[in-house]
Amino acid sequence: MVRSADNRLYTGITTDLPRRLAEHNSCGRRRAKALRGRTPVELVFRCGFDDRSQASAAEYRVKQLRRTHKDRLIAGELSIQSLLYESEQPG
């Protein structure tokens, strides 16, 4: 998850984090449309997964969260595992 210059949060997945951050901060075509004109971005949260399926599920779940829950995730007050595996989902 990255925070843009205007304090918006953007969530995505990648296999090469340094490359993807550079793309988001560039003026090139490979940056996310949601971040255009909102650079620079800074990495505020990351976690690793064994496969793309798990990463995609986590990305989807994080994107469904309200901002307050995302802030708690960034602060370490929530774990990504609790978001993926709990039966009552915040949001």
**37 part of a folded domain:** yes
Domain count, the chain: 1
Does 87 have pLDDT greater than 70?
no
Give the structural domain span for 48.
Answer: 2-85
Confidence of residue 86 (pLDDT cuts 50, 70, 90): low
Q: Is 74 exposed, middle or buried (0-12, 13-18, 19+ CB in 10 A)?
A: middle
* Number of CB atoms found within 10 A of residue 67's CB: 10
**81 part of a folded domain:** yes
- Of 11, 22, 77, the closest CA to residue 45 belongs to 11
**55 part of a folded domain:** yes
Mean pLDDT, rounded, for 54-69: 93
**90 part of a folded domain:** no
| pLDDT, mean over the chain | 88
Kindly report the pTM of this predicted structure: 0.83
Q: Is 91 exposed, middle or buried (0-12, 13-18, 19+ CB in 10 A)?
A: exposed
